[in-house]
């Protein structure tokens, strides 16, 4: 059973329905152009999808150490707190442009394309079904943007794979934007920034933590820590792009 909507208040359900209608109307009125090359007809054309999803299958997804993807090397595993990190590709070219359009140009339809690509990646690795949990967005950014891009992708992914979806995490600490901080300060900035609104009692339940971009892994690590404190035993990171 999907657990996406049963706990949502009527006002929020109505808002999400309005967002779906708005997105559907926009798809009809405005033609789609590839974020990578500008070709008309899709959010990302077949060539740009292929280019975006190129990875080194023999290297750690986060660094250059030898480790068969999606397994993290021992150093990155210790730093982030998970064994696997599934990603589409590097934060450049078509992926960078697609995420930019999603986050800053209100192109919510991009979430559908990115979720389809992630679904393909999860099937490539034959991942078991589980619960998709999106990375929460800071409240001020959520108000400004009107949506959480990671939640849009996560919800679409859960629908495509028929996996459960739950917005389990919340931000409980105000933090500075990670992009404005040095790598050394990012871990301190997000330490204790997240908490889970739910307890996880099934030790075999796989939690798929989804974020759009990972750079140092500090934010992922803080979110993983919060999920583990809530009882999660098996966590895999799902990331659109690695910077």
pLDDT tens per residue across span 113-132 = 999 999 999 999 999 999 99
pLDDT tens per residue across span 176-211 = 666 666 667 777 778 888 999 999 999 999 999 999
Q: Which two tokens stand for residue 12?
A: 């929020």
Per DSSP, the chain holds a count of helices (H) and strands (E) of 9, 7
Answer CATH for 17-175+186-242 from 3.40.50.2020, 3.40.50.720, 3.40.50.2000, 3.40.30.10:
3.40.50.2020
Domain ranges of the chain: 17-175+186-242
Q: Is the pTM higher than 0.75? A: yes
Angle at 131 between CA 128 and CA 134, to 5 degrees: 125
Q: If you average pLDDT over residues 133-149, what whole number do you get?
A: 87
Q: Which residue has the tokens 């989804």?
A: 210
CB burial of residue 158 (10 Å; 0-12, 13-18, 19+):
buried
Q: Determine the Cα–Cα distance for residues 113 and 42; give it in Å rounded to an integer.
A: 9
Q: Which residue has the tokens 């996996």?
A: 163
CB burial of residue 89 (10 Å; 0-12, 13-18, 19+):
buried
pLDDT-derived band at 41 (thresholds 50, 70, 90) equals: confident
| The pLDDT value given to residue 221 | 96
Assess contact for 52 and 94: CB atoms under 8 A: yes
Contacts for 142-149: CB closer than 8 Å, 24+ residues apart? 145/103, 145/106, 146/106, 147/19, 147/108, 149/99, 149/102, 149/103, 149/111, 149/212
pLDDT-derived band at 59 (thresholds 50, 70, 90) equals: very high
CB atoms under 10 Å from CB of 179, counted, come to: 9
């Amino acid at each position: 059973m999907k657990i996406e909507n049963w706990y949502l208040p009527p006002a929020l359900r109505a808002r999400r329905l309005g967002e779906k209608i708005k997105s559907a109307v926009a798809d009809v009125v405005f033609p789609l152009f590839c974020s990578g090359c500008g070709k008309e007809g899709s959010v990302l054309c077949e060539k740009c999808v292929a280019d975006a999803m190129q990875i080194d299958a023999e290297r750690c997804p986060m660094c250059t150490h030898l480790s068969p993807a999606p397994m993290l090397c021992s150093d990155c595993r210790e730093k982030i707190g998970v064994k696997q990190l599934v990603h589409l590709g590097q934060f450049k070219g078509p992926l960078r442009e697609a995420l930019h359009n999603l986050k800053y140009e209100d192109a919510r339809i991009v979430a559908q394309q990115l979720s389809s690509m992630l679904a393909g990646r999860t099937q490539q690795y034959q991942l078991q079904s589980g619960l998709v949990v999106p990375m929460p967005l800071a409240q001020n950014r959520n108000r400004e943007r009107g949506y959480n891009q990671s939640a849009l992708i996560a919800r679409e992914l859960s629908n495509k794979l028929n996996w459960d979806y739950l917005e389990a995490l919340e931000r409980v600490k105000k933090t500075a934007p990670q992009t404005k901080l040095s790598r050394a300060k990012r871990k301190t900035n997000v330490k204790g920034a997240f908490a889970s609104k739910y307890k996880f009692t099934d030790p075999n339940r796989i939690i798929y933590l989804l974020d759009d971009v990972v750079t140092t892994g500090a934010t992922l690590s803080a979110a993983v820590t919060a999920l583990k404190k809530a009882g999660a035993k098996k966590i895999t990171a799902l990331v659109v792009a690695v910077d």
